[in-house]
Each structure stands twice: as C-alpha cells, then as structure tokens.
Amino acid sequence: MKSSRRKLSTVRPLLVACSLLIALSVQGSDQPAVHVAPTDSVGPRVLEKQTEEAVIRDYLQAWRSLSSALEENREDLLDPDFVGTAKEKLVDTVREQEKLGLQTRYRDSAHDLQLVFYSPEGLSVQLIDTVTYDVQLMDHEKVQTTQHVRARYVAVLTPTEVRWKVRVFQAEPE
C-alpha cells in the first residue's frame, strides 16, 4: 500500500506533465504556420503594413469560419467572413453536405501567402495562398477518409465596415 502510494505520487507529476505537453502540442497544431512573402509591389496602390496585417488576419479567420461551417453544416458561420460569390459557393457546399448527410473537417496547417494586387481605390485585395491542410470526410458521422492536401488558392477580399471579407475564393492547379 505504501509502495503503491509512493508510485502514484511519482507518476502523478509525470502524468500532469504529459497532459500539459499533449495539450500544448494540440493547441500548437491548431494554429497554422503562416509565412507571408514580402510585398514589394502590389499594383497601383501602396499597401500599408497595417492594412496587410488586417487582410491576413481576416483571411486566416475566414479559414477557421469555413472549417467550422463545413464541419457543423452551418452556413450562418460563414456570414462574418465571406461575401458575394465565395459565400454563395460555400453556402451551396454546406447545403449539399447537409442534404447528403456528409460533413467535412478542414484543418489548415500552413499558409504561404503572397499579396499580389491592391486596387487603386483600395476596394479589393488579391492574395495567393499555397495552403497545406487535412480534410476529413464523414458520411453520417462515419469517418471515410482523412487526406493531406496542398493546394494553391486565389482569394479576393473586399473591405466592409469592420473587416475584410473574402469575396472570391478559388483553388487553382499548382
């Protein structure tokens, strides 16, 4: 009894440490690695650092939104970050998934971003993102596959009252 208590007292800190490490690694893996290429020239308008940071922040948030929307089949989760064609297409995908009893779980692990165009009147920003993500497909809650994907996306964001929203969102062959 005494020895088992001693063992437990030795093992407990170890278990706590392990849990912490696992928690940290899980938390760390939730945050994608982001690399932004230097933006020497983005066309007719100078892109201020503050604007660039806001665009990237809102674009990455849009990935989180689409991930939640497609996992939970909730189109309302797209509202804060998508607008126009991009939103319409993602809404259609959510509806198709719901109709078929499918769910998809997108987990972006890395973004290699390059801002390529800032329109002269400041009403649109275009970026190219080489993104790495895992996509898991579930059919009636049964996992069918998990695939690791690397794809190149083109996105156009437009400003709204409080944030940049994704208006065009399209993958292209690498």
Partner 1 sequence: MKSRLTSLFLGGLILAATSNLAVSQTSDLRIPTTVEAGAAFSIQTTGSGNATLYIVGLGQVLRREVQLGEPIPFAAGDLHNAGHYLVLVVRDSSTENGAFDVTEAPQPSTLSFLARPSRVPVDLRDGINGVVYVFDTFQNLILQPTQASFQLSGVAGAPQARTVLTRNGVAWTKMNSASKEGAAQFVARVGSASDTRVITQVPGDPCSLRMNARPSGQRLALETDPVRDCSGNPVPDGTVVTFTEIYNGDEATVDVPIKHGIARTEMPAYKGATISVATGVVMGNEIHWGGGQ
Q: Applying CB under 8 A, which residues contact partner 1?
A: 14, 17-18, 21-22, 25, 43-44, 66, 70, 85, 88-90, 92-93, 96-97, 100, 102, 104, 106, 116-117, 119-121, 123-124, 126, 128, 135, 137, 139, 144-149, 151, 154, 156, 168-173
Of 51 and 93, nearer to partner 1 (C-beta) is 93
Q: Nearest distance from residue 68's CB to partner 1, in Å?
A: 13
Nearer to partner 1, 36 or 138 (CB): 138
Please state, in angstroms and rounded to a whole number, the distance separating the CA atoms of residues 171 and 148. 15
**Least distance in angstroms from the C-beta of 146 to partner 1:** 7
Q: Which residues contact 167 (CB under 8 A, 6 or more apart)?
A: 82, 83, 84, 85, 86, 124, 156, 157, 158
CA dihedral defined by 93, 35, 31, 161, rounded to 10 degrees? -60
CB of 46 to partner 1, least distance (A): 14
Q: CB of 35: closest distance to partner 1 in angstroms?
A: 19
- Of the pair 56, 155, the CB lying nearest partner 1 is at 155
Q: How many helices (H) and strands (E) does the chain have?
A: 3, 5
* Closest to partner 1 by CB, 8 or 17: 17
**Residue 121 or 161 with smaller CB distance to partner 1:** 121
The C-alpha atoms of residue 30 and residue 9 are separated, in whole angstroms, by 32
Residue 128, token pair as written in the block: 């190219």
Between CA 110 and CA 124, with CA 40 as vertex, the angle to 5 degrees is 70
